[in-house]
RNA sequence: GUGGGCGUAGCUCAGCUAGGUAGAGCAUCGGACUGUGGCUCCGAUGGUCGGGGGUUCAAAUCCCCUCGUCCACCCCA
């Protein structure tokens, strides 16, 4: 038997309906705030990700799906969405359009990783990028849109973590500060953190080992060395969130895994998942497009992990999506079967959601199935009804049954919905 | 990349310790009730015991390899 590749999955009904509903909701919310969809390739030149995401990051280091095409060009399945959008901005000269531009994308990303709960090698992200605005209002708008989306999906227990990473010029100083602060207690850190201290000191800050967290508590927050401008920027974002009533918590130890972030960074985490609790990550990346050879365009954005989002969807939302009222049209006998699709066409045109029984089941078996599949009602079309030009409609929940003409069914259905 | 758990029917699992004819529940389909569901009873369908190799008269069971899956680490969505 041929099996799907490791780390991928098949989305089957009825769960696929949840994905559709989530995406529909995201499109509606994003669109209401002036965003339009952008679709970029699922693979790009490898160099794009090396230069944007950062050479020292784990993503580039060990998680990329990289291959050569027949002409020897190195291509990589996109591990995240922002780089492709930035590339498209430059290549299509979007700078020449009036901006800012709000672009969203929904699609698969790929990272070569060991499987774990809430983590897949092909996973879907819903991302929004706001390009061409350096105002704190832009960051606040993104957080607001996120909050609106999550609220509409029924989440009420998510936490937004916010931090200021400072400007790129501040980073060497801060790394130095971290090293100096922790030099004395180096031996007490976990082995990973000792390595991180050399390679990427910022990462020590969000280590999950309890003993490390105690030690790291002594490290001053980034804001102590962050530029005055970056501090003012993030404070302005926070003020705006307060004004909007969008809750958040300052997390001075929040570090993101991509090199291009500066100033505002944030994560949305769920208290329900232990390890892979991050549902969404984002931040500001004012240097990304110029670093890739484009004009100096400020940008800010986020990406939601759709797989995790769907996994954690509140029951209320699920019930609403999966509880669709459907009618089961059951023809009995050859003459009735010949009529079934014609009725189905007329009724669906009038707004009925139905399913035609095609297998020739007995009425008993059909009712049994209707009960199991959660149909709201069954339309019975047998010889008696056919002769009388009627159809019998049976409601499953109440066991009440009435006979009516086929033309009356849509109105009856609408009245019961 | 590192460390551990688990692979037997569509699903959840028993059987493995002491090798000897592959089982149960649920699900599916049908019947009892020949055009009226949920409960009950009866029956049927369904398995290369993840795959390969080895030991043995004989392997789901013991040994080796491999693949898959789950959990944790790393890191991230």
User: How many angstroms separate the CA atoms of A328 and A122, rounded?
Assistant: 37
The answer to whether A277 CB is within 7 Å of strand B is: yes
Nucleotides of B under 7 A from a protein CB: 1-3, 27-31, 33-38, 48, 67-77
Range A151-180 average pLDDT: 89
Q: Is A263 helix (H, G, I), strand (E, B) or coil?
A: strand
Whole-number distance in Å between A181 CA and B54 C1': 59
Q: Which domain holds residue A333?
A: 325-416
User: A262 and A167 in contact (C-beta within 8 Å)?
Assistant: yes
Structure confidence at residue A10 (pLDDT)? 83
pLDDT of A37: 98
Q: What is the Cα–Cα distance from A308 to A270, expressed in whole angstroms?
A: 10
pLDDT digits (tens, 9 = 90+) for A77-126: 999 999 999 999 999 999 999 889 999 999 999 999 888 878 889 999 99
Whether residue A391 lies inside any domain: the answer is yes
Establish whether the CB of A306 is closer than 7 Å to any nucleic acid atom in strand B: no
For residues A288 and A353, state if they share a domain.
Answer: no
> In A33-98, which ranges are continuous DSSP H helix?
46-53, 58-62, 82-91
Domain final residue, candidates A302, A318, A334: A318
A366 and A343, same structural domain?
yes
Q: How far is the CA of A58 from the C1' of B66 (A)?
A: 29
The verdict on residue A123 lying in a domain is yes
Q: Is the Cβ–Cβ distance between A284 and A125 less than 8 Å? A: no
Q: What is the pLDDT of residues A175-190, one digit of tens each?
A: 888 888 877 777 777 7
Q: Are residues A329 and A313 in the same domain?
A: no
A362 touches strand B (CB under 7 A): yes
Closest nucleotide (C1' vs CA) to A400 is B36
**CA A111 to C1' B12, whole Å:** 32
Closest CA to A380 of A394, A360, A396, A397: A394
Q: What is the pLDDT of residue A273?
A: 67
pLDDT at position A208:
67
Closest CA to A284 of A94, A133, A180, A144: A133
pLDDT tens digit sequence for A35-54? 999 999 999 999 999 999 88
Calculate the angstrom distance between C1' of B75 and CA of A267: 15
Residue A253 near residue A206 (C-beta atoms within 8 A): yes
What's the token pair of residue A199?
A: 């390679």
How confident is the prediction for chain A on average, in pLDDT? Answer: 90
Domain boundary among A318, A333, A348: A318
A1 CA, B57 C1': separation in Å? 33
Lookup: nucleotide whose C1' is closest to A302 CA: B77
Interatomic separation, CA of residue A305 and C1' of nucleotide B14, rounded (Å): 39
Given A276, A299, A318, the domain boundary residue is A318
What is the token pair recorded at A276? 């892979």
Q: Which of residues 83-122 of A touch strand B (CB under 7 A)?
A: 111, 113-120
Do residue A296 and residue A407 come from a single domain?
no
As a whole number of angstroms, the distance between CA A245 and CA A147 comes to 10
CB A84 within 8 A of CB A40: yes
- Evaluate whether residue A232 is within a structural domain: no
Structural element, H or E, at residue A377:
strand A377-381
Closest nucleotide relative to residue A277's CA, C1' based: B77
Asked, for residue A221, whether it belongs to a domain, the answer is no
Same domain, A261 and A122: yes
Interval A274-308: pLDDT, tens: 667 899 999 999 999 999 999 999 999 999 999 99
The gap between A116 CA and B52 C1' (Å) is 28
Residue A223 has pLDDT above 80, yes or no: no
Q: Is A7 within 8 Å of A113 (Cβ atoms)? A: yes
Q: How many domains does the structure of chain A reveal?
A: 2
Q: Is A169 within the bounds of a domain?
A: no
Pairing of strands A101-110, A36-37: parallel
A304, closest nucleotide (Cα–C1')? B77
Q: Is residue A168 part of a domain?
A: no
- A101 to each of A131, A343, A383, how far by Cα in Å? 5, 48, 62
* Residue A198 approaches strand B within 7 Å at CB: no
Report which of residues 127-186 in chain A place their beta carbon less than 7 angstroms from any atom of strand B.
Answer: none
The residue-averaged pLDDT of A265-270 equals 93
pLDDT digits (tens, 9 = 90+) for A330-369: 999 889 999 999 999 999 999 999 999 988 888 988 998 8
pLDDT at A1: 66
Sign of CA dihedral A61, A65, A67, A69: negative
Residue A259 beta carbon within 7 A of nucleic strand B: no
As a residue count, chain A comes to 417
| Residue numbers in A 209-238, CB below 7 Å of strand B | 209
- A197-209 residues labelled b (16+ CB within 10 A) or e (exposed): beebbbbbbbbee
Helix axes A315-322, A15-32, angle to 10 degrees: 110
Buried b (16+ CB within 10 A) or exposed e, A151-186: eebebeebebbbbbbbbbebbeebeebbeebbeeee
Q: For a pLDDT cut of 70, what percent of chain A falls above it?
A: 98
């Amino acid at each position: 038997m041929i099996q799907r590749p490791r780390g991928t999955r098949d989305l089957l009904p009825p769960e696929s309906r949840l994905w559709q509903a989530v995406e529909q909701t995201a499109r509606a919310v994003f669109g209401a705030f002036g965003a339009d969809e952008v679709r970029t390739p699922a693979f790009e030149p490898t160099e794009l990700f090396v230069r944007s995401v950062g050479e020292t990051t784990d993503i580039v280091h060990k998680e990329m799906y990289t291959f050569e095409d027949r002409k020897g060009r190195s291509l990589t399945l996109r591990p995240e969405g922002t780089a492709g959008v930035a590339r498209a901005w430059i290549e299509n000269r979007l700078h020449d359009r009036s901006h800012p531009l709000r672009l969203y994308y929904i699609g698969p990303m790929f990272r070569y990783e060991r499987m774990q709960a809430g983590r897949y090698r092909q996973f879907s992200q819903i991302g929004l990028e706001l390009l061409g605005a350096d105002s704190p209002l832009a960051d606040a708008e993104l957080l607001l849109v996120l909050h609106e989306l999550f609220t509409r999906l029924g989440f009420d227990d998510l936490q937004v973590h916010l931090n200021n990473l400072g400007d790129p010029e501040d980073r060497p100083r801060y790394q130095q500060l971290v090293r100096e602060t922790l030099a004395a207690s180096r031996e007490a850190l976990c082995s990973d953190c000792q390595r991180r201290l050399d390679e990427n000191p910022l990462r020590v800050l969000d280590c999950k080992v309890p003993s490390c967290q105690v030690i790291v508590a002594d490290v001053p927050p980034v804001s102590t060395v962050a530029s005055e401008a970056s501090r003012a920027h993030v404070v302005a974002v926070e003020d705006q969130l307060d004004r909007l009533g969008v809750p958040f918590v300052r997390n001075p130890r929040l570090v993101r895994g991509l090199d291009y972030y500066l100033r505002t960074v944030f994560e949305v985490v769920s208290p329900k998942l232990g390890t892979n609790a991050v549902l969404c990550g984002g931040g500001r990346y004012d240097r990304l497009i110029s670093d890739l050879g484009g004009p100096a365009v400020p940008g800010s954005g986020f990406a939601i992990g759709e797989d995790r989002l769907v996994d954690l969807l509140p029951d209320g939302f699920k019930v609403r999506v999966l509880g669709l009222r459907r009618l089961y049209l059951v023809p009995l006998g050859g003459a009735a079967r010949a009529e079934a699709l014609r009725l189905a066409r007329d009724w669906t045109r009038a707004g009925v959601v139905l399913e035609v029984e095609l297998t020739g089941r007995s009425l008993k078996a059909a009712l049994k199935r209707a009960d199991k599949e959660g149909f709201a009602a069954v339309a019975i079309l047998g010889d008696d009804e056919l002769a009388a030009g009627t159809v019998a409609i049976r409601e499953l929940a109440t066991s009440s049954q009435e006979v009516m003409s086929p033309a009356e069914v849509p109105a009856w259905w609408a009245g019961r919905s």
